[in-house]
Structure 1
């Protein structure tokens, strides 16, 4: 007597539970489709537009984040150094080179969920194009480390894996025609356990 309703209830629980879990896993997996990768830096230029795929729109809504429009800017993230090793708080890194043409850029370290890391009070947790020291040719070096370094230094806590977030504001790289031939800074490991 209760056998058929019990089978229907179990089937509905499995269907709804599986659907919800698969949707949540897809939202946590990626910002969407159409990623570009330049020298280890990854960006999703279509995620900010009205023509973004449904997963990108849902990811944006779930995270409650304001993304830049295609004419405003572009956000790049790097999880690995030039050798392909995961960035970790127990190692020190040097980010060197130039950024693509932009009016302003910002750089900070974030955890895997994109939340900004804070190494402690009065330590430089972020930097930007207005405060970074440059060479005569316009290139720069930024040391990313948990211990203080001379010159441009970005402090990170002694944590596990992290990512670097480089935001380019008012840049031609945000337009679809500006994506070819971008020159991005290189991230090199300079030591671990120091």
Structure 2
């Protein structure tokens, strides 16, 4: 007598539970479709536009972040170095080269979830286009690690996986069709504390 209602309830619980779990997993696995990958750097130019796919819109709503619109700029994230090895908080890196044309840019270190990693007081946690020392050709070299370095340096001394976030503000790159031809800074591993 109660067998049929019990089976219906069990089926509904599996369907709703499985659906909620798969949607949550998919939202955590991607920021959406339409990614542009330039070396180690990845950007989602359609993320804040009306053309964004449903996964990107849900991801944006779940994060609660205010993102740059396509005309305002572009955010690139790197989770691996030039050799393809995942970025680690126990290692030192050099970010060198130049950025695409932009009015202003920032480079910061984030944890695996994308939250900024704060440095100890009086240590630099990020750099920007106004404070970065450049070579005569306009290129730069930024050291990122626990040991202070002359020139451009960002403090990094944490556990686990990290990412580098390069934000280009007011850039013609965001509206460019040929983004795959842009030069991005290269991320080179210098060494690791536990190696």
Instruction: State TM-score, norm by structure 1.
Output: 0.97
CA RMSD after TM alignment: 1.1
C-alpha distance in 1 between matches for 2:99 and 2:172? 12
8 A Cα contact 1:172 1:178, kept in partner? no
User: Which structure 2 segments of 5+ residues have no match?
Assistant: none
1:141-160 matched pairs, under 5 angstroms: 141-160=141-160
SS at 1:105 equivalent: strand
Partner of 2:97: 97
C-alpha distance in 2 between matches for 1:126 and 1:116? 9
Residue 182 of structure 1 deviates from its aligned partner by: 0.4
**What is the count of residue pairs matched by the alignment?**
194
Residue 55 of structure 1 deviates from its aligned partner by: 0.5
Partner of 1:123: 123
Partner of 1:78: 78
SS at 2:181 equivalent: coil
| Moved segments of 4+, more than 3 Å | none
* Cα displacement string for residues 55-81 of structure 1 (whole angstroms, at most 9, x for unaligned residues): 000000000011111110000000111
* Cα displacement string for residues 79-134 of structure 1 (whole angstroms, at most 9, x for unaligned residues): 11111111111111000000000000001000111100113222111110000000
User: Which structure 1 segments of 5+ residues have no match?
Assistant: none
Partner of 2:34: 34
C-alpha distance in 1 between matches for 2:44 and 2:176? 11
C-alpha distance in 2 between matches for 1:83 and 1:180? 19
8 A Cα contact 1:32 1:47, kept in partner? yes
C-alpha distance in 2 between matches for 1:89 and 1:57? 30
Partner of 2:68: 68
SS at 1:188 equivalent: strand
8 A Cα contact 2:36 2:180, kept in partner? no
* Cα displacement string for residues 22-66 of structure 1 (whole angstroms, at most 9, x for unaligned residues): 110111011100000001100000111111001000000000011
SS at 1:109 equivalent: strand
1:161-172 matched pairs, under 5 angstroms: 161-172=161-172
